Amino acid sequence: MSSFESGTNQLLVELNERVAVITMNRPEARNALSDELTGAFRRAIVWAASDPQVGAILVTGAGRAFCSGGDVKAMGQRSSSPADQPSVEMQFQTMRARHHEIAGALRAMRKPSVAALPGAAAGAGMAIALACDLRVAASSAFLSTGYARIGLSGDYGIAWLLSRIVSPGRARELMLTSQRVDAQRAEQMGLVNEVVTDENLNRAAFELARSLANGPQAAYAYIKDNLDEALDIDHATAIDREADRLLKARTTQDHKEAVRAFAEKRPPEFQGV
């Protein structure tokens, strides 16, 4: 059972074999991001990042979509009553906090994260998927930045994420054209790590998340530190920082257990310490 209650049926959270399965649950709206859903999502990420029972996070969507992005219908309602709108500064701070505490927090989390895409991942939904460490897509899924189609520029750090996951040139193409990228092409481009049949998505994504959840947690955190810095520092600095983290990893019980398991020709039993 989960030790976290989302407080809304728009976000389902379950803890299973050390995997926090977070499901956006607005299938009638292709899991578009309402205020209620995003508020619960932000709280769920804080819980998953801090709870020692959680070893990895699996983010997915109910029904036939991952997440279609922002709720366009709600956008129309807000724009039709400008007199009720908060100040521009207040809107900016609210938006900034939401984006940092979902996509920013997912990427900053030192535990592994997996996104399972049963269908469309568009706009902010695509950004949330890209903020996870790994992505598994159903064969019928597709991704699209989508912003240009509704006259918007992007959010949740999607341009930054795209530029690093694919390439600056490809990021410009995807942002400017809002083209749909099917699962097979997304895998070729590096947007997703694996494509499976629709029927096997939940099983494949969970097995991947479960294997990570029961792996060497301290080593994972150091690996993510190394990867996060890789595009921003020079090689000599990278060597120094990797050496420092390697020495720290060598002091963990997980490393010592892995060495014993290797000598005894058995799988290691990591404890996350």
DSSP 24-75: E--GGGTT-B-HHHHHHHHHHHHHHHH-TT--EEEEEESTTEEE--B-HHHH
Q: Please choose, from the candidates 214, 189, 215, the residue with its C-alpha nearest in 3D space to the C-alpha of residue 137.
A: 189
CA distance 158 to 175: 9
- The H or E element that residue 222 is part of is helix 217-229
- What are the pLDDT tens digits along the chain (273 aa)? 457 999 999 999 999 999 999 999 999 999 999 999 999 999 999 999 999 999 999 999 999 999 999 876 666 555 555 667 889 999 999 999 999 999 999 999 999 999 999 999 999 999 999 999 999 999 999 999 999 999 999 999 999 999 999 999 999 999 999 999 999 999 999 999 999 999 999 999 999 999 999 999 999 999 999 999 999 999 999 999 999 999 999 999 999 999 999 999 999 999 888
Q: State the number of CA atoms in the 13 A half-sphere of 171 facing the CB.
A: 16
pLDDT of residue 71: 79
CA distance 120 to 99: 20
Find the angle CA(214)-CA(99)-CA(44) to the nearest 5 degrees: 40
Residue with tokens 């505490």, as numbered in its chain: 101
Is the pTM higher than 0.75?
yes
Calculated CA dihedral for residues 59, 209, 127, 165, nearest 10 degrees:
-170
Structure tokens that stand for 113 in this block: 């994260």
CA distance 61 to 117: 7
Please give the backbone phi and psi of residue 194, each rounded to the nearest 5 degrees, phi first. -155, 145
Q: Which pairing describes strands 11-16 and 19-24: parallel, antiparallel, or unpaired? A: antiparallel
